[in-house]
Each structure stands twice: as structure tokens, then as C-alpha cells.
Structure 1
Amino acid sequence: MKFTYRPSEQRGGGDHGWLRTFHTFSFSDYFDPENQSFGALRVINEDRVAPKTGFPTHPHREAEIFSYIISGELSHKDSMGNVETMVRGDIQMTSGGKGIAHSEYNDHPSKEVHFLQIWALPWQRGLTPGYYTRHFTDEEKKDTLKLIVAPLGAEGVSEEREGKSVTPIHSPLHFYASLLSPSASVTHTIVPPTAASQNPNEKLVYVQLVQTSGFNTSAAKKDGKGPLVKITSKGGEETTLGEGDGVFIRGGKVGEEVRLENVGAGRGEIVLFEMDA
């Protein structure tokens, strides 16, 4: 495996008043030729939307779009007739397919909403649009890697609109989440690729530590505050993430392991993506 560390400070985005956002990949006015996508991943935006504001109705097509709620409330409406207000632990998946329109709004009178907006490229164009919603508690994610999203057809995945099953995605992507206590560790074992993989001998992994307490890497390392997550492989690769930081992992083989250990002082909220290369 090869690790490429990506500090939070190198992300794009900005403060637009109603929206504070960080972009892992090129998005909107932010362009980074070295970070335009990673496997099927096209967008990871860490968004904070002020009360009584949001994204007005806009179109999407040929993308799998999901929101992972960190705090606050996010209201969703779309052209398929879905109306939903999501809270912490909720995940909402929209399969854009041939085309949909939706809005994402913070209707709360006083609290901002903090969420990850994630886009992945589908494995097939022209799909029928779909909508799925799930809820995963903090307890389900405590000191473990909880599988949240997996390719349609994988074990434990259901096309039910809502329920307790893993959220379906029409893309070769697995998405896990963890709430990792200080001194706790979890190990991710790389899973087999999808049947349609063009490169079955290599997998991609991306890990990001969500900015929940506001401590960045340099402050956490200097003052010992906030979570710090040490990422290691058996091959000797190693890096440490502060909040907002990420690491791109290339060259993973099925069955190989990536270890995540919280060596900081606070609970860390971790998201891990695994994709076909």
C-alpha cells in the first residue's frame, strides 16, 4: 500500500456566510488538478449551513449522491416526491440516474446543520432515479467500523426505501463510519472487488477524520487536545490525522488490513471509503 496524506488546510472551499464548506476534490470555483476524483469518489464536501438557509432546487444526473448528517437538521425535497428532515445518524441516498431535481435546506430557526455531501460515479448510465434513507445510532458506530453504504447486490444491502439494512449504491464503493474513543483502535480488512472491476488486484481506500470539535492537526499535536487518528498498514506505511485531514491509500490487496487508532484526547468521528481501482 502507498499512503498520501492530505491535510485539512489544503482542502478547497470557503466561508460564504450562509455556508461554510470544505472540498476534498475539485468543486465549484475550487480546482485542484491532483484531486479531482478518487476511484468512484467525485465529491466529499464537509458543509455547515446556517439556520433558515440552504441549497435551492437544482438538477442532478448520472451521480449517486448521499448526505451523512453530523449535527443539526437537514430538510430534503425532490422531484420524485420525497420530503424528509434528517438528523444526526441519518444517511440519505439519491440515485440521480437519468435526472432528478432536489433542494437541501436548514429549516431550524437557530442551529446550523453540519453534514458530509458525497457524490460517487455510477457503474452504469441511464439508471432509473431512486431514493433511500437509513439511520445509524452512535452506539452502532462506537469503537467499530460500521458499514453504512455498499454496492447494490452485496450481502446485507436492500433496495427498500428505508429500514435497517445497509444503504444501496449503484457504484463500486463501500462507506464505513466509526466513533473512535481515545486509545481505542479498529482494523479495516479490504473486501473483494465488484464483479465488474477493471482492476481486481488493487483496491483504493480513503480515510477522513471529520471536523467535529474544531481542533486541527497542528493544534492537537501541540496541545494534546482533540482526536488524533494514527493510520498504519502491516507494510509499514503510517500517518496521523487531525480533524479535517485525510489519507489516500493506493495499492491495497484483498484481505490486507488498515489499522486506525485514536492516539488523541477526544472522540474521533471517522469515515472510510473503499473502492475498486
Structure 2
Amino acid sequence: MKFQFRPSEERGGADHGWLKTFHTFSFASYYDRSFENFGSLRVINEDRVEPKQGFPTHPHREAEIFSYIVSGQLAHRDSMGNVETMSRGDIQMTSGGTGIAHSEYNPSSSTDVHFLQIWAFPFKRGLKPRYFTRHFTDEEKKDQLRGIVAPLGTEGVSEEREGKGLTPIHAPLHFFASLLSPSKSVTHTILPSLNGKSTKLVYIQLIQTSGYNTGAANKSKNAGPLISVVGGGATAELGEGDGVFIRGGQVGEEIVIENVGEKVGELVVFEMDDE
């Protein structure tokens, strides 16, 4: 495996007043040709939206779009007639397909909403737009990697709008989340590929739960979560907002993730086919 560490302060992003955001990949006015996508991953925005503010109705097509709620509430409304208010633990998947329009809004009068907005390229164009919601408790993610999203057809994936189990996505992408306690570790075993290739891509990011901070993360063990990532002889340490891109992972290889800090770390893991 080859590791590429990306510190939080090198992400793109902006403070728009009503919206404070970090961009893992090129987005809006932020462009870096080295970070346009990673396999089927196209967008990971870590957004914080102020009370009574939000994104007005706007269109999407040919994209799988999902939101992972960290804190606060996010109201969703779309052209398919879906109306939803999501809270911590909720995940909402919109399969844009041939085209949808939606809005996202913070309905609270006092509390920001903090969430990850994630886009992926679909494995087929011209799909019928669809919508799914799921809920995953903190207990389900405590000191384990909980599967959240998986390709349609994967065992455990339900096609119900509000079903139990994994959230379906029309892309060769798996998404996991964990709330990792100090001194605890989890192991991710690289899954078989959908396209028959022997190598996979993995991206791991530690969510910046302490607040919006554009400077270098304080990585002392007493300051916050500090995550060690080890795989294939390579290592990386992640503070809040940091990420590591992993290339060349072989199916069946293991990646060990350990919290070597003093606070619980909320982390996400993406695994996808190496296109």
C-alpha cells in the first residue's frame, strides 16, 4: 500500500458567514488538479450551516449524493416530493440519475448543523432518480467500523426508502463510520472488487468535531483525538480534519486504525474500486 497524508489545513474551503466549509476535492472556487476525485469519490465537503440558513433549491444529475449528519438538524426537500428533517446518526442518499432538484436548510433557531456532504460518480448513466434514508446510532459505531453505505446488490443492502441495514448506492463505493475510544482499535479488511481488479482505493478521514478551525490541528495527545493508521508497512497519524489516501491495497489486506489520543474520534472510511 502507498499512503498519501493530507493535513486538514491543506483542504480547500471558505467562510461564507452562514456557511463554513472544508473541501477535500476541488469544489466551487477551490481548485487543485491533484485533488479532483479519488476513484468514484468526487466531493467530500465538511459543512457547518448557521441557524435558519441553507442551500436554496438547485439541480443535480448523474451523481450519487449523500449526507452524514454529525450534529444539529438538516431539512431536505426535493422535486421527487421527499421532505425530511435529519439529525445526528441519520444518513440521506439521493441518486440524482437523470435529474433532480433539492434544497437543504438548517431549521434550528439556535444551533448550527454540521454534516459531511459526499458525492460519487454512478456506475451507470441515465438512472431513475431515487431517495433513501437510514439511521445509525452512536452505539452501533462505538469502537467498531459500522457499514453505512454499500453498492446496490451487496448483501445487507435494502432498497426500501426507509429500510434497515446498509444504504444503497449506484457506485462501486463502501462507506463506514466509527466512534473510536482512546486506546481502542478497529481493523478494516479490504473487500473484493466489483470490477474484478485485485487492488482497491481507501480514504480515511477524522471528522473535525471540535469546531471550525482553518489552522494546523494540534496533534498533542491531550488536545483531541489522534488516530494511527497502519497498513502494508505504511503509517499515518490523523488529527481532526486530516485524511489519508491509500492506493494499491490488495483484496484481503488489513488496515489497522487505533485511537492513540485522549478523546473519542469520529472517523469515516471510504473504500472503492481502483478505476
TM-score (normalizing by structure 1):
0.96
Paired with 2:74 and 2:163, the residues of 1 have a C-alpha distance of 19
Q: Indicate the SS of the match to 2:230.
A: strand
Matched, 1:167 2:167: yes
Q: Residue 164 of structure 1: CA displacement?
A: 1.4
Partner in structure 2 of residue 189 of structure 1: 189
Q: Residue 224 of structure 1: CA displacement?
A: 2.3
Matched, 1:266 2:263: yes
Q: Residue 219 of structure 1: CA displacement?
A: 1.4
Paired letter, 1:226: G
Q: How many aligned residue pairs are there? A: 272
Paired with 2:96 and 2:217, the residues of 1 have a C-alpha distance of 39
Paired with 1:71 and 1:27, the residues of 2 have a C-alpha distance of 23
Residues 29-68 of structure 1: pairs in structure 2 closer than 5 A: 29-68=29-68
Matched, 1:231 2:229: yes
Q: Residue 213 of structure 1: CA displacement?
A: 1.8
Paired with 1:202 and 1:39, the residues of 2 have a C-alpha distance of 12
Matched, 1:73 2:51: no
Matched, 1:246 2:270: no
Q: Residue 122 of structure 1: CA displacement?
A: 0.1
Partner in structure 1 of residue 157 of structure 2: 157
Q: Indicate the SS of the match to 2:219.
A: helix
Query: 1:103-157 CA distances to partner (integer Å, 9 max, x unpaired)?
Result: 0000111100000000000000000000000000000000000000000000000
Partner in structure 1 of residue 3 of structure 2: 3
Paired with 1:219 and 1:261, the residues of 2 have a C-alpha distance of 18
Q: Residue 220 of structure 1: CA displacement?
A: 2.6
Tell me if structure 1 keeps the 8 A contact 2:8–2:217.
no
Tell me if structure 2 keeps the 8 A contact 1:55–1:104.
yes
Partner in structure 2 of residue 82 of structure 1: 82
Which segments of 5 or more consecutive residues in structure 1 lack a partner in the other structure? none
Q: Are residues 217 and 257 of structure 1, via their aligned partners in 2, closer, same or farther at CA, if it must alter by over 3 Å?
A: farther
Q: Percent identity?
A: 70
Q: Residue 54 of structure 1: CA displacement?
A: 0.1
Paired with 1:92 and 1:165, the residues of 2 have a C-alpha distance of 13
Name the Cα RMSD after superposition: 1.1
Paired with 1:44 and 1:257, the residues of 2 have a C-alpha distance of 24
Which segments of 5 or more consecutive residues in structure 2 lack a partner in the other structure? none
Paired with 1:154 and 1:217, the residues of 2 have a C-alpha distance of 39
Partner in structure 1 of residue 218 of structure 2: 219
Paired with 2:224 and 2:216, the residues of 1 have a C-alpha distance of 9
Query: 1:195-223 CA distances to partner (integer Å, 9 max, x unpaired)?
Result: xx1x61110000000001248764132x6
Query: 1:45-98 CA distances to partner (integer Å, 9 max, x unpaired)?
Result: 000000000000000000000000000000000000000000000000000000
Paired letter, 1:246: G
Paired with 1:217 and 1:59, the residues of 2 have a C-alpha distance of 35
Tell me if structure 1 keeps the 8 A contact 2:199–2:249.
yes
